[in-house]
Amino acid sequence: MAIPSISRFLTSSIRPKPPNFSLTTTLAFTTSSSSDNYWTHLQKNGSNVEKTLNKVKAKLDTTCVNEVISKCALNQPLLGLRFFIWAGLQPSYRHSSYMYSKACQLFDINRNPRMVTDVLETYRVEGCLVSVKTFKIVLNLCRKANLADEGLWVLRKMKEFNCRADTTAYNVVIGLFCDKGDMDVAAELMSEMGLINLYPDMITYIAMIKGFCNASRLEDACALFKVMRGHGCLPNAVAYSALLDGVCRFGSLEKALELLLEMEKEGGDCSPNVISYTSVIQAFCEKSRTMEALQILDRIEANGCSPNRVTISTLMKGLCTEGHVEEAYKMIDKVVAGGSVPEGECYSSLVVSLLRIKKLEEAEKLFRRMLASALKPDGLASSIMIKGLCLEGRVLDGFHLYNEIEKMDCLSSIDLDIYSILLAGLCKESHLVEAAELARLMVEKKIQLKAPYVDNIVEHLKISGEKELFPHLTSI
């Protein structure tokens, strides 16, 4: 449905511990007794079990609910689902997001969506009292199971039970169709809200904007963004970010800059954060316009924000890919002076970027300068640097570099695959003394050999006379 029609519809609506028992024992006993009581009651009472559940004087908590629905799931899933819904209606208890996920998993609602329709049909046949909150629990189950069509069916069923849907109920179903990518149905539902005197809130608008953006319908997303302001729902940073993300992925870079400027002018809750700026920077870099993206760095600081490592890594990669290595060094000087990203992290990122554009020699020089200056390289830079040397046939250099890194005590985050790659290379080039040394270190550190290298490494260790390392390495 076109946005003008949405706008038209919206315009029209708009105690002390008992002796002799440990706390753990007492809690376990209570929980077990509670779930057993509910479970026993469920077995004895058939129809309209909700009327009698309130008579069970037992504690109701997450553990209890989980135990009861787990018992029901195998042979009595519908009864278990009814208990789950009843539990969610109790004033002293509220289902967590985890419990909704657990219920969907136990009752396999995703692959058996009839559970949703069956439970409401059972309520109708037995003449059960059903409230708006009952429907909201069922709708939340639909949301967890990603059941858009069933969610819409539940929404429509509310009228039959004399329940009036509210904005929250509509938001669940609209969100499901936005996630599904069916924006026409989502737009119709949003328009429908206006016809029954309901008002879309920020949750509605953000879901719709994200949905339109994900469906590459940027014009509709932008139009809706203007509509929300006209109906008293002022955009916040989340709404701006949703639109900005879509524009960066599917729209023009100039439009992204315009939107960023608008956020800066709005200020307050609408001010762009580092994620907003980084999204725009990434979009420019992906279009090989990194020098323009570099200018956004000044705007970040001018707006009272600070770049983070992702921002710098994104710019670093773009600058190196486009051949602006000198600009990368200048950028590091500027960022380090500002104190937003540590020097070691900046240079580690540059090492990685240089290696990715096959500038091994320059990357190695920079890496060794870092070590000489007591700047600790991160795990990614260390891993890729050693691997790069190995791929160039310089395994011994890679081993010596490994030892230097170890002396600086910064090996904790190194890729464990590097040990096997390095050991395999040392064995292949018959550097058996170094291979045995590394193998012993791996045994000490309990680092497991990776499958592709096992046979070759073991054979060389046998030849070198280091047979005793073989069972240790293979048993880790």
Say how many C-beta atoms besides its own lie within 10 A of residue 5's C-beta. Answer: 12
For residue 301, give the amino acid letter. Answer: E
3-state secondary structure of 95: coil
Do 176 and 224 fall into the same domain? Answer: no
Q: Is the dihedral of CA 39, 42, 43, 44 positive or negative?
A: positive
Do 374 and 331 fall into the same domain? Answer: no
Do 141 and 211 fall into the same domain? Answer: no
For residue 104, give the amino acid letter. Answer: C
Do 41 and 161 fall into the same domain? Answer: yes
Do 99 and 187 fall into the same domain? Answer: yes
Q: Among the three residues 336, 353, 386, which one is the final residue of a domain in this structure?
A: 336
Do 86 and 168 fall into the same domain? Answer: yes
373: domain CATH number is 1.25.40
Q: Give the DSSP per-residue string, 401-440.
A: HHHHHHHTT--TTS-THHHHHHHHHHHHTT-HHHHHHHHH
What global pTM score does this model have?
0.77
Distances 183 to 132, 140, 186 between C-alpha atoms, Å: 26, 20, 5
Q: Among the three residues 219, 245, 272, which one is the final residue of a domain in this structure?
A: 272
pLDDT below 50 — which residues of the chain?
1-31
pLDDT on residue 398: 95
Q: Which of 108, 92, 164, 175 is nearest to 140 (CA)?
A: 175
pLDDT on residue 474: 56
pLDDT on residue 411: 62
Question: Which domain range does residue 76 map to?
Answer: 1-196
Do 1 and 120 fall into the same domain? Answer: yes
Do 126 and 181 fall into the same domain? Answer: yes
Q: Which of 185, 184, 186, 182 is nearest to 205 (CA)?
A: 186
Task: List pLDDT tens digits, range 172-182.
Answer: 999 999 999 99
Please report which helix (H) or strand (E) contains residue 124, including its range. helix 114-126
Do 268 and 292 fall into the same domain? Answer: no
Rounded to whole angstroms, the Cα distance separating 105 from 103 reads 5
Do 20 and 102 fall into the same domain? Answer: yes
Burial 275-293 (b: 16+ CB within 10 A, else e): ebbbbbbbbbbeeeebeeb
In eight-state DSSP terms, residue 164 is -
Do 353 and 406 fall into the same domain? Answer: yes
Do 401 and 424 fall into the same domain? Answer: no
Task: List pLDDT tens digits, range 301-353.
Answer: 888 889 999 999 999 999 999 999 999 999 999 999 888 899 999 999 999 99
pLDDT on residue 466: 56
Task: List pLDDT tens digits, range 6-50.
Answer: 444 333 443 334 434 343 333 343 445 888 888 888 888 667 788
Taking the CA atoms of the chain, what radius of gyration do you get in angstroms? Answer: 31
Q: Among the three residues 336, 363, 379, which one is the final residue of a domain in this structure?
A: 336
Is the Cβ–Cβ distance between 254 and 284 less than 8 Å? Answer: no
Rounded to whole angstroms, the Cα distance separating 458 from 463 reads 9
- Structural domain tally of the chain? 5
* Main-chain phi, psi angles of 38, to 5 degrees: -65, -45
